[in-house]
Structure 1
């Protein structure tokens, strides 16, 4: 079954919390529900205990989709990582989420506005071996808790390009699944259609943000930081950029799970209610045109 969710980053940014910092959580949730969104991922304004978060989501009749977790598996072993993740794991389990979104953040520069994308970290062969083994074990421990690890490739991190995704997928076990993020792979120079085709059986979560190609090219050519690129409008909601979502979705005909609208923008330039509604309408059309099962 396909369900459409949203990430609150469409309203309030997590890496630069002043972007949309004035938008209350209640406004975000009320607008999401009014649009037709069924569930939300976590953001910086969400309480992180089940007792505090459940009544808020229940009040808006929204489910918890999942939430980002930063791993540091290059630096620490998977057992230590799992203990660090325990509060997050318990929150997801208590509120019925089925996937945990993981992204390796050792030496990441995506949250540093002054750091050009060219300065992002690149793993050594030894680090790749440690990371892939650690990610596999971490995912296996999560599976024992009833959660599926979905790996979030991301600009500015050690897993950004299509080749890096391939190396991670080849070097990890079946407990590791892929979060297909159409916007990140497109901006990184990869092909979301090819990625969907290659890993259709291991894609367990989908983020849909679109890319404005002229801004993406300028960001790379002028070596902007990730955050400055976001402020310039490199990302938008599905259907408002250059990605062929119908072609992507046709490569995952058996997909069942959440498809999440996640397009970080400056809410002053891109009013969230207007843009998320646009993305929601476009996404529904693309899903139906691709023939995905509702």
Structure 2
């Protein structure tokens, strides 16, 4: 299992030149597997819960491999044209504008499709010739088929916790990819991550991680997700601004996790137990 902090990436491209490497603390052999797959031209699927490190991992690996990264946040309305491109009116002319996937194919960038199962299945089918031995992108509207430039890599991610009959990767897509599974890191490593990313001391990080671990052990239907490393970091950052641990945990951890009144009261009680104010 692999895992660490993951921050939501916005659509866009950024290169490694002159930039500091994104912070990533490896848990297992995920870096070796990703590197081997990339060098062999194999596509990668990252599986794991929200906020466990998938996006940050891709950012770090793109930097390490010296490739620009183009990230697409997938959603229900994402169309094939959104990925591949479309004709647009510019002034008095109609011109073709590449989509992010086509740009990555032409430029030899790594294309990262975040939460790919949120996109319609008829959209993701366009990935098949890119994800197998062909490494090609057919663009029907242009009547051309692009060969992926050297350096191109395809990475997708999704959260198995949201799987359903309607939202899942097609088997034909899955079997074209190398899978890397992510989970939350061991407490000691998570404490280091929270301390580093939030800028808090070791004791504060340890308290937040213990609280997060306790939430992850809960068995309740009122929580769709458990406390991720991301929300623990957010709580830590609030304490840096002067909020108490209770205030920070309520705002950054308990609040985002549920709208259920009963579960919210339970989390508030846990905050009192795990993040009690120091005596005196």
TM-score scaled by structure 2?
A: 0.33
TM-score scaled by structure 1?
A: 0.31
Larger radius of gyration: 2
